[in-house]
Amino acid sequence: MTRRELLRGGGVGLGAIALAQLLARDASAADGDARHHPARAKRVIYLFMAGAPSQLELFEPKDTLQRLDGEPVPASFVAGKRFAFVDGAHAKLMGTKRTFARYGECGAQVSELLPHTAGIVDELCFLRGVHTNEINHGPAKLFMNTGFGQFGRPSLGSWIQYGIGSEADDLPGFVVLTSGSRGPRGGSPLWGNGFLAPRYQGTPFRSGAEPLIDLESPAGVSPEAQRAFFDTVKDLNTLRYEALGDEEIAARIAAYELAARMQTSAPELVDLASEPESVRALYGLEHDRPSFARNCLLARRLIERGSRFVQLYHTDWDHHGDPKNHLGEPLEARCREVDRASAALVIDLRRRGLLDDTLVIWGGEFGRTPMSEVRKFVGRDHHIDAFTMWLAGGGVKAGFSHGETDEIGYAPVTGGVHVHDLHATILHLLGMDHERLTFRFQGRDYRLTDVHGRVVKEILA
């Protein structure tokens, strides 16, 4: 007898038991019973710079690299290393045209391209030796979001939802917001549920003044008629679930119910005109046009209303260079789009008393090489061995830098942090042990960090 036949034969009894267990597990997670130790953070806002910003133009000035600009790289230095476009036999070191200064009491060095970020360095925890496994954008985005370079694994937000649920009753617990000219390479698997239940996947909002469509009932349909429709669909779906025990059906039931509740909650959520003008100015909002700034303010409003994990993708950071600009205007444009709003989010959370238990993350899928590409232009290639990210709030040290790279920014010499370590630390801050947060699938216990990862205790406040 197959599983499906068993469930169908069991009828209402087994179906009702399964549904009750499903709902009980959700309630348990929402109550925080899945936490393994006291949490420092309750929620996460992840600012993902899709395309990989150059740490050497933004956060990592290297005097030696400047002095050796244009010098050949010794063949032994790049032997056996993986690059997307760099020709190791002809590689030359490449300094930056950007100027840096020290800011704040911590004295962190930040580029001229990020003046607003420079103003909040005493709130930030820099990770200066992050490294990853995947050399190309699509797999690297998957690795940064799921801990694996191929499709099929649950995303970070899904694992968090699975582990501790959401505090929001009438909004999704895991929301995805995008800005830029296109969606991030990798698409929906970046916020997918993988082998976890469908209810744990991220909910993407549209860009612009109307992130959610169809919030209003169709003309001529009264609230009573709509409620009757939802109830009938729920009854039919429940009958089917009781017959099959399929979690896709349980997810469909939950989605209909959430959609009904969002008709009341979502219009207020997306009405950014209700924000004081001073707050809108802080973020740099311009009318209701789609923007990273708008998404940052929306992210703050979402976590205030109980969403657990909000991820903002801002695309177009794939700057190898070009014949005219040498990492110029494209990089400058991206920095103008995100700098003010990223800093405003941290400032706004602090003013509202939310930063201490909200973890903010900023970074891309990998970094950029200290040597130039030999193509029709001068630029930087993909670099997996060392790049910079920053964290704020949520139990990490403020005004702190962890790790150091070598004199040209090629590899960590102290404080290297692998992506698996980053994931382990995020889960730890949320009260979860990355080795104990598991899901059994196809005869194996899976976890976000696979069989790797350590908590980076040095950055914990």
Instruction: Write the CB contacts of 90 (distance below 8 Å, at least 6 apart in sequence).
Output: 72, 374
Q: Are strands 367-372 and 100-103 parallel, antiparallel or unpaired?
A: unpaired
Residues 201 and 261 in one domain: no
Average pLDDT over residues 210-230: 74
Residues 115 and 189 in one domain: yes
Domain count, the chain: 2
The answer to which of 137-141, 165-169, 265-269, 277-281 has the lowest mean pLDDT is 265-269
Q: How confident is the model at residue 319 (pLDDT cuts 50, 70, 90)?
A: confident
Last residue of a domain, one of 289, 322, 349: 289
Average pLDDT over residues 237-262: 77
Residues 157 and 90 in one domain: yes
Main-chain dihedrals φ then ψ at residue 85, nearest 5 degrees: -135, -20
Domain containing 438 — which CATH number? 3.40.720
For the cut 90, the answer to whether the pLDDT of residue 445 exceeds it is yes
- The parent domain of residue 150 ranges over 33-170+184-207+308-399+426-461
Q: How confident is the model at residue 16 (pLDDT cuts 50, 70, 90)?
A: very low
80 touches 385 (CB < 8 A): no
Residues 6 and 104 in one domain: no
393 touches 355 (CB < 8 A): yes
Residues 321 and 454 in one domain: yes
Q: Which residues pair with 45 in a beta bridge?
A: 310, 360
Q: How confident is the model at residue 364 (pLDDT cuts 50, 70, 90)?
A: very high
Residue 329: CB atoms within 10 Å: 12
Residues 200 and 346 in one domain: yes
Answer yes or no: is 299 within a domain: no
pLDDT score, position 184: 86
At residue 46, what is the residue type? Y
148 touches 141 (CB < 8 A): no
Residues 161 and 270 in one domain: no
Residues in the chain: 461
Residues 51 and 83 in one domain: yes
Helix (H, G, I), strand (E, B) or coil at 331: helix
Residues 82 and 200 in one domain: yes
Q: What is the pLDDT of residues 92-146, one digit of tens each?
A: 899 999 999 999 999 999 999 999 999 999 999 999 999 999 999 999 999 999 9
More confident residue, 379 or 435: 435
- For the whole prediction, is pTM greater than 0.75? yes
pLDDT score, position 74: 77
Rounded Cα gap, residues 453 and 461, in angstroms:
20
pLDDT score, position 209: 63
181 touches 313 (CB < 8 A): no
Tell me which residue of 299, 313, 322 sits closest to 137, measured CA to CA: 313
Rounded Cα gap, residues 170 and 167, in angstroms:
9
